[in-house]
Amino acid sequence: MTESTTSDYAPPSARIARGEIRRASVKSFGCQMNVYDSQRMADLAALEGYAEAADVENADLIVLNTCHIREKASEKIYSELGKLSELKDERRKAGRRTTLVVAGCLAQAEGAEILRRQPAVDVVVGPQSYHRLPQLLREAQVRSGVIDTDFPAEDKFSRLPPSSREAIARRGAAAFVTVQEGCDKFCSFCVVPYTRGAEASRPVGAILEEIGRLAGAGVREVTLIGQNVNAYHELDSSGRPIRLSDLIRAVAAVPGIRRIRYATSHPNDMADDLVAAHRDVEALAPFLHLPVQSGSDRVLASMNRRHRVADYLDIVARARAARPDIALSSDFIVGYPGESDPEFRATLDLVAHVRFASSYAFKYSPRPGTPAAEMEGQVADAVKASRLAELQAMLEKQRQAFNRASIGRRFDVLFEKPGRREGQVIGRSPYMQAVFAEGHLSLVGAMVEVEIIAAGPNSLQGRIVSPASQ
């Protein structure tokens, strides 16, 4: 894949020169990549002359960047669209035009079905073609129901305008950067290979340039994101293979970048070089989000995960040997088709063995077009609900234990915003815990050494140890 970092997108300067102020609201659902894509769509809207709307009622352009991973996510969007169609109608009566765009994975998966269920929608655009949003908006001026769910040959990143300094600064000192997209693994429960398409990595030069620009505008922490981020593979300018561990080392050398995270990883791509990066690269957070989904080998095989429980435990052991203070988090699915009670208990055993700092657990949700949706032995919702409650209770206990064990430790905290009480600032530890401390507002945006002095259910209290180091 080639990627130039200068955008070939030209702003409609005539409209901006006329001083027409229009406003856009981009709302993100679902994963971190949607947050990133939403920011890039907001950048495009800004070049089209749209200022950021303070609230959706005042937006002339409304973009919902949607998720399709579970049924609940999709239904939530249809109910939101119902409300927005009423808003659009009210605005029309007041003589104001509203353009309604559905982007993201629901758009990709359902396409024209969205227009059928909600005719107020003007544009449907998938995750691989949203760089064409300006043209699609222009088309929507002259005809209703514009759909673009292509997987175009051109690389969207090279067509997107870079974020402005102001936009970067507004978004804060921690940023996401997509480095890899799509998935070729086809886990039998998952829609991602169908909605995001085949696995592709972005060129290292373009990534480093983007991160350099972020750092120059005050970003101190980057999360390298991808559906299969540890499958990242590219070539450098001299044709040498670059893997995620190499990319992490290169990002660590970008002036201003103090902390690096990456998500989400698949166990089968957790190679030794990446484990070694956890040992060697100081800026790499000692935190690993590594979804295991189930603690049963039979369920893992049926899920097409292509590894066994023992392989997962081996990675955990290697990661802990490389970086003793590393903490783990995971995703779990309960009530996968055919999951028996003993198989569910095996998941609890795995959790007891590993001890996670935080995790996400979900009830299995059949997704149209995926193999698991057609499997026999679909589990009753009541069983899923009770398994989910039991697993979540255990994960929550482990999270609280991890938080309590943080008392007395010293963490680098990246302060993000003022705290709830005056004179406090709040930020994140290396382990993603919320940490608040007495401190001046000028600390927002800085990485500061903090000693943890108390642990509440949802946040830690800290005492600032070192003066701020930008």
Q: Verify binding: residue 364, ligand 5AD, rule CB under 6 A.
A: yes
Question: Please, what is the minimum distance in Å from the beta carbon of residue 313 to ligand 5AD?
Answer: 18
Q: Does 186 bind ligand SF4 (CB under 6 A)?
A: yes
Tell me how far apart the alpha carbons of residues 445 and 171 are, in angstroms, rounded to a whole number: 11
Q: Are the C-beta atoms of 230 and 270 separated by less than 8 Å?
A: yes
Instruction: Classify residue 38 as exposed, middle or buried by CB count within 10 Å of its CB (0-12, 13-18, 19+).
Output: buried
Query: Can you name the residues that pair with 124 across neighbouring β-strands?
Result: 102, 147
Q: Which of ligand 5AD, ligand SF4, none binds 46 (CB below 5-8 Å, type-dependent)?
A: none
Using CB under 6 A, pick the residue from 159, 266, 278, 428 that binds ligand SF4: 266
The C-alpha atoms of residue 450 and residue 415 are separated, in whole angstroms, by 10
Give the whole-angstrom CA distance, residue 88 versus residue 102: 14
- Applying CB under 6 A, among 365, 398, 406, 433 the residue interacting with ligand 5AD is 365
Choose the stretch contacting ligand 5AD; rule: CB under 6 A; options: 136-144, 245-253, 364-372, 454-462. Answer: 364-372
Distance from C-alpha of 225 to C-alpha of 235, rounded to nearest angstrom: 18
| Residues numbered 410-469 forming contacts with ligand 5AD, rule: CB under 6 A | none
- Residue, CB closest to ligand 5AD: 331
| List 311, 331, 396, 451, residue binding ligand 5AD (CB under 6 A) | 331
- Judged by beta carbon, residue 266 or residue 289, the one nearer ligand SF4 is 266
Which of residues 65 and 98 has its CB atom nearest to ligand SF4 in the complex? 65
Distance set, CA 456 to CA 38, 249, 325, 399, 428 (Å): 32, 35, 21, 11, 14
Query: For ligand 5AD, how many residues bind (rule: CB under 6 A)?
Result: 12
Contact with ligand 5AD (CB under 6 A): which of 156, 171, 266, 367? 367
Residue 370 lies near ligand SF4 (rule: CB under 6 A): no
Work out how close the CB of 191 gets to ligand 5AD at its nearest, in angstroms, rounded to a whole number: 7
Q: Cα-flanking dihedrals φ and ψ of residue 468, to 5°?
A: -60, 135
User: To 10 degrees, what angle do helices 309-322 and 341-354 make?
Assistant: 10
Binding mask 61-100 for ligand 5AD (x = CB under 6 A): --------xx------------------------------
Residue 228 in the binding site for ligand SF4 (CB under 6 A): yes
**CB neighbours of 340 closer than 8 A, spacing ≥ 6?**
none
CA distances from 173 to 165, 251, 409 (A): 12, 15, 23
Binding residue for ligand SF4 (CB under 6 A) from 192, 247, 257, 263?
192
Q: What token pair was written down for 360?
A: 């996400």
CA distance 270 to 232: 11
| List of residues contacting ligand 5AD (CB under 6 A) | 69-70, 189-190, 291, 293, 331, 333, 362, 364-365, 367
| List of residues contacting ligand SF4 (CB under 6 A) | 183, 185-187, 190, 192-193, 227-228, 266
